[in-house]
Amino acid sequence: MGPTGTSVISYRRMTSLAIAGLAAVSAALLLSACSSDNAFPAVHDMPAARTEMKLTPDEIKQATDDLISQRDKTEANAQANAQPVTTGSIPQKKSAASAQPAAQQSSSGVSAYAKQ
């Protein structure tokens, strides 16, 4: 290979480097265009001063009392709507389901549950 062979290789190498450089520059331009929408504030940007005043101690007490009264009403409603719970009492009259063997009871209970 004489001087022509080396110049062809260096020309191809320079062309591929130029294409790679153009690709890198175009990628950088595209990425910089994406970040200009200011979705996030800058690191040192401070929020504006608040225009609303803090609650006074009387307002805090009023809000606390309102929350407590609402909680008490909700608990009273929940207790009034609760069904009474029977503990440990066995009914005197046996139902038809209790006369069945245990294996049949469990399967009928599951099928009744599945039908709901």
Predicted confidence at residue 9, as pLDDT, reads 72
Rg (CA), the chain: 40
**Confidence (pTM):** 0.31
In a domain, 48, yes or no: no
Predicted confidence at residue 91, as pLDDT, reads 58
For the chain, how many structural domains are there in total? 1
Residue 92: HSE in the Cβ half-sphere, 13 Å Cα cutoff:
0
In a domain, 12, yes or no: yes
Per-residue model confidence as pLDDT tens digits over 31-49: 766 555 667 777 888 888 8
**Domain, as residue range, for 22:** 8-32
Would you say 55 and 63 are in contact if contact means Cβ atoms under 8 Å apart? yes
* 10-residue mean pLDDT series, the chain (116 residues): 63 89 86 65 83 91 97 94 67 55 52 51
Please list the helix, strand and coil fractions of the chain in percent, rounded to the nearest 5, in that order: 65, 0, 35
In a domain, 16, yes or no: yes
